[in-house]
Structure 1
Amino acid sequence: MKKISIKNTSVLQIVLTLFTVLLIISINIKVVVNFKPLYYIDIKSLDIEKNANLNIDEIKSNYNYVIDYIQKHKIEEFNLPTLNSSINGKLHFQDVKSIFNKIDYLLLISIFIVSSYLYFIKNKNYIFLKWSYNILFFMHLLLILSFLFDFSKSFNTFHQLFFRNDYWVLDANLDPIINIMPETYFLHCAIFIIALNIISAIIIYILHNFRNNS
């Protein structure tokens, strides 16, 4: 297929930078969310069995349901295998599901835009790789500093930014699911995502240098 020649404008490079960053972040979020062994390790390290007063099989069953539910695109009611949920709790997980569905769409769009440029356009300008590296690196450096300062505050700020209601403020008596998914587990997920994003940024930096020297 004949490749298309296009002027490498700053606007195009900005668009490519944006979607490269979104592509990396989306992929790594998906990787961490589906890496269930991280949670299985936390069951022991965070003493979740004792704190939730549930056996390990029941904990895994309800956790696995949550992870599978939030990634489905099929519309269905949130019903945990063995735990009760309040109306607000159900609505919250529907909101979480909506966010993850949007991440899937964003991932597909990002793959299409970046891969189309890399495949179809000749006389490519790879400056967007350098910009992507800088954004990923410094953005996650700020996140690390905010987590070190006060993760709980950062965690609450995240919810306030991404949710238009306060349904995420769950009562353990009505929504015992929060007893098996403590805040520290989400801290571990965040650290894992940040680590993968920084590694991805380093790979992008190496690719950019390779292209410049080739």
Structure 2
Amino acid sequence: MWLVSGTIILTINATWLYWINALTQKLGPTVNLSLGRLMTNYYQLLAYLNFPWTSRLAMNDFTDSVGALRHFADVKALFMLNNVVFIVTSVVVFYFWRQLKRRQQLWRLVLPMQGALWVPPLVAAIMAVNFDQFFVFFHEVLFRNSDWLFDPLYDRIILVLPDTFFLQCFVLAFVIIEWAFAFYLSVGKQALKNL
């Protein structure tokens, strides 16, 4: 849970990935905005989604329909839940790690990490078969309504949040978590050698 929630936080806040997409796909011109102005709006969206004290979504150049605002509020609730999970599990992991280290039992990480290493490639393979279908399924699982289906006439923000960006976010998340599993597996294997 700690690795998954941490991966989500890192992926959500990978603003460099959005910047690359905005630059290479020329997202700003599609809504008559400069790259800098588009990034300002993106930071405003992230501030709303990330910070509990930001209670109202206000972007300089985008206004959203009632459905879109409801969707972003739902996304914010999921982000807040993820942040709480990360904070709580960080405390648990800290004490668990300290205990394993003190007892010289870091080798216990080997078996769970060996199993976990198979999960991201498996999910990535399913996703690669049909990303659009996977993306729809993902939203149907996480959201109770169809507010995530934005109408570009009313919610221009969807024009600068292309599917390819979300695909890259999934790929980044898989890379981060796979690296984390491999890292903790190597820690466990090293501990076994040192026994």
Q: TM-score, normalised by structure 2?
A: 0.90
Unaligned runs of at least 5 residues, structure 1: 1-21
Equivalent in 42, 45, 49 of residue 24 of structure 2: 45
Mapped contact 2:5–2:85 kept (Cα < 8 A): yes
Mapped contact 2:107–2:187 kept (Cα < 8 A): no
Deviation, structure 1 residue 76: 1.2
1:155 aligns with 2:98: no
1:6-155 equivalences under 5 Å are 22-74=1-53, 76-120=55-99, 123=103, 125-126=105-106, 128-155=108-135
How many equivalent pairs are there? 193
Paired AA for residue 44 in structure 2: Y
Equivalent-residue separation in structure 2 for 1:154 and 1:109 (angstroms): 30
SS in 2 for 1:69: helix
SS in 2 for 1:53: coil
Distance 1:26 1:63, change over 3 A: same
In the alignment, which residue of structure 1 is the partner of 2:153?
Answer: 173
Mapped contact 1:78–1:90 kept (Cα < 8 A): yes
Deviation, structure 1 residue 35: 2.0
Distance 1:116 1:83, change over 3 A: same
Mapped contact 2:107–2:190 kept (Cα < 8 A): no
Mapped contact 2:48–2:54 kept (Cα < 8 A): no
Q: C-alpha offsets along residues 169-197 of structure 1, whole Å, 9 cap, x if unaligned?
A: 11111111111111111111111111111
In the alignment, which residue of structure 2 is the partner of 1:208?
Answer: 188
Indicate the RMSD between aligned Cα atoms, in angstroms. 1.8
Deviation, structure 1 residue 146: 1.7
Unaligned runs of at least 5 residues, structure 2: none
Deviation, structure 1 residue 104: 0.8
Mapped contact 1:25–1:197 kept (Cα < 8 A): yes
